[in-house]
Chain A
């Protein structure tokens, strides 16, 4: 049975290595280092789930989320925002734009696995 595919989006290699370590044995992982590359990869690869950082250069996570929700190919892909900045206003904006859930950094392994499993099942 083919593994589900997760697109990991973060400008920090440390976080990408961490997320790959947590998820790599259960799922196939793709990576992107900013919002623009994330959008291109998502349109091309159509992953089953996206883990998106917010603060990134070139195109941040919120803009990337907005762009993905405007595209037919990507508008239904579950997107979990992974961020250090979880102010109420920002959280509300993300939910209004259509994000599926939030994970705060530093990432808790059990929370990450639980939420990923929830959206991939």
Chain B
């Protein structure tokens, strides 16, 4: 009799425990599912919110994109304008530098030509200008002989002086340049046989001589704007310098003669 109630009570206890465990498990599962549902609900809410605001955000981003594109276009235009300004500035700078160089050359040439009254030094200065500032390695300086009406070479660089005979006014390229009183320029760089430039040296309309260039230095491609400015200066100033030095030589000679005469007179007394 005792054994049966014991088995029954054990069975009941076991049943109650099983039921309790089952209930606890159900509660745990319920909690897990509840949390899952809550999480899913939150995700769903966020997604819905995002979806709701998506068109608005898209519109905002499109507007920003359009604005940035416009700014980019403006910046590109500004860059193009600044580049154009820079280019123009660079051109002006180069032009000003060329003018500066030209002025410097003209100043140096003028200063040197009028720095002496000695005839030989004046001729030497003209040679230096043609070699160093213009850049010629073959040229001659001719002066007019009034009696014979021809041009005689008084000095040269790079030429065989004996081969260059006096040139009659009006004959050939050089003679014609002298006759007309107008400079002559050739397009060629020069091989040394034909003149590439003839610059008549004149005081007002009176011809004094001609500078004849036959060949430029190897490294020089041709005449530049600076060279033509120098030629214009030489045409007048070199002529004046030569004329003044010749007058000075003449007056020195006369002064010397008169001084000697005075000395002689003093001695005779």
Chain A residues engaging chain B, CB cutoff 8 angstroms:
12-15, 17-18, 21-22, 84, 86, 104-110
Contacts and interface: CB of A to CB of B under 8 A. Distances in A.
B158 to A, nearest CB: 10
Contacts of A17: 108, 111-112
Contacts of B219: 86, 104
Interface string B97-127: 1001100110111011000000000000100
B159 interface: no
8 A-B pairs with least C-beta separation: A14-B128, A106-B135, A104-B219, A18-B108, A12-B128, A109-B101, A17-B108, A14-B112
Contacts of B111: 17
A108 to B, nearest CB: 8
B107 A21 contact: yes
Contacts of B133: 14, 18, 106
B129 A14 contact: yes
Classify the secondary structure of B's interface with A. Answer: helix
Nearest to A10: B132
A98 B219 CA distance: 23
Nearest to B128: A14
Contacts of A86: 218-219
Nearest to B217: A84
A110 B135 contact: no
A106 B108 contact: no
Contacts of B218: 86
A65 to B, nearest CB: 20
B163 to A, nearest CB: 22
B131 interface: yes
A27 to B, nearest CB: 16
A109 B107 contact: no
Task: State which size class the interface on B falls in.
Answer: 20 to 34
Given A14-B109, A14-B125, A21-B108, 17 more contacts: A14-B108, A14-B132, A17-B111, A17-B112, A18-B104, A84-B131, A84-B132, A84-B137, A84-B217, A86-B219, A104-B217, A105-B131, A105-B132, A106-B132, A106-B135, A106-B217, A108-B101
B199 interface: no
Nearest to B218: A86
A109 B218 CA distance: 19
A107 B219 CA distance: 11
Given A86-B218, A109-B100, A15 B135 contact: no
A106 B112 contact: no
Contacts of B97: 109-110
B104 A12 contact: no
A109 B112 contact: no
**For A12, A86, A108, which residue has the most chain B Cβ atoms within 10 angstroms?**
A12
A13 B129 CA distance: 10
B120 to A, nearest CB: 14
A20 B239 CA distance: 26
B220 interface: yes
B213 interface: no
Given A14-B128, A109-B97, A84 B108 contact: no
